[in-house]
């Protein structure tokens, strides 16, 4: 059976997450329902990352096995026709070998988190960024973020429901960028690692927000990491501002 890789974009707000769940809308479920319309018997759509409820994607990758050959452009068009009106789009497809696995072949994941500091509620970006009232110091957040780079035991920043066998992860990049924003300030966090623990990104950003607001000194981030204790983590920020931007492979399947 031919195997295809898909690059997928979605708005996570209507979904209970990527993974299919009984009685709950999911991105995986929406895709598999679309596949069932073009392939008798359907097919499993396996993703590179199991994003949580409310988390978005601009570069999720998945794969599936079909019972016949498809031109990649026609496959995208057919799936997108049956995905409407769900806010999910297949932006690229490619034929890959049976050795390719969207999750296990991946060598990195890249996430972005958007944080907006302003008093007025968000309207255009509602559900796409986290708004806070406090003024933020990007320099202090960068100083705190520096303590998290490299390989560490990230138990402090890991959900109690995380199913990963080990809390050890290597954080390859954690950039704090300030960008212009109408009537406010926006801070964007760019994180890159081979893999992340459940809620790791949201725990890190919530902790760094406390640093930026002046509630934590930057060195307290190192103390929290060393504690290896979930109670030492800052508040876990909401999913609104989190987007899976890209998944990397030894060779780009697209």
**Max Cα–Cα distance, the chain, nearest Å:** 58
By C-alpha distance, which of 228, 143, 244 is closest to 196?
244
Return the active site residues. Answer: 52
By C-alpha distance, which of 88, 81, 35 is closest to 57?
88
**Backbone angles phi and psi of 68, in degrees to 5:** -150, 165
Angle at 215 between CA 211 and CA 220, to 5 degrees: 55
Region of 199 on the Ramachandran plot (φ > 0 left; ψ -120 to 50 alpha; else beta): left
Region of 59 on the Ramachandran plot (φ > 0 left; ψ -120 to 50 alpha; else beta): alpha
């Amino acid at each position: 059976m031919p195997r295809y890789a898909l690059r997928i974009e979605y708005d996570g707000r209507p979904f209970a997450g990527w993974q299919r769940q009984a009685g709950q809308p999911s991105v995986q479920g929406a895709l598999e329902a679309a596949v069932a319309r073009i392939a008798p018997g359907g097919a499993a759509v396996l993703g590179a990352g199991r994003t949580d409820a409310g988390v978005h994607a601009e570069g999720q990758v998945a794969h599936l096995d079909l019972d016949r050959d498809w031109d990649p452009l026609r496959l995208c068009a057919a799936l997108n026709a049956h995905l409407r009106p769900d806010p999910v789009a297949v932006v690229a497809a490619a034929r890959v070998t049976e050795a390719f696995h969207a999750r296990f072949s991946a060598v990195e994941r890249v996430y972005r988190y958007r944080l907006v500091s302003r008093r007025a509620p968000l309207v255009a970006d509602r559900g796409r960024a986290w708004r806070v009232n406090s003024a933020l110091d990007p320099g202090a957040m960068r100083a705190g973020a520096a303590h998290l780079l490299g390989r560490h035991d990230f138990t402090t920043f890991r959900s109690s429901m995380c199913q990963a066998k080990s809390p050890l992860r290597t954080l390859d990049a954690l950039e704090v960028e300030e960008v212009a924003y109408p009537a406010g300030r926006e801070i964007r966090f760019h994180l890159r690692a081979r893999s992340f623990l459940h809620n790791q990104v949201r725990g890190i950003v919530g902790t760094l927000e406390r640093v930026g607001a002046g509630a934590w000194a930057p060195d307290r981030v190192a103390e929290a990491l060393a504690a290896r204790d979930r109670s030492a983590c800052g508040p876990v920020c909401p999913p609104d501002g989190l987007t899976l931007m890209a998944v990397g492979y030894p060779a780009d399947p697209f």
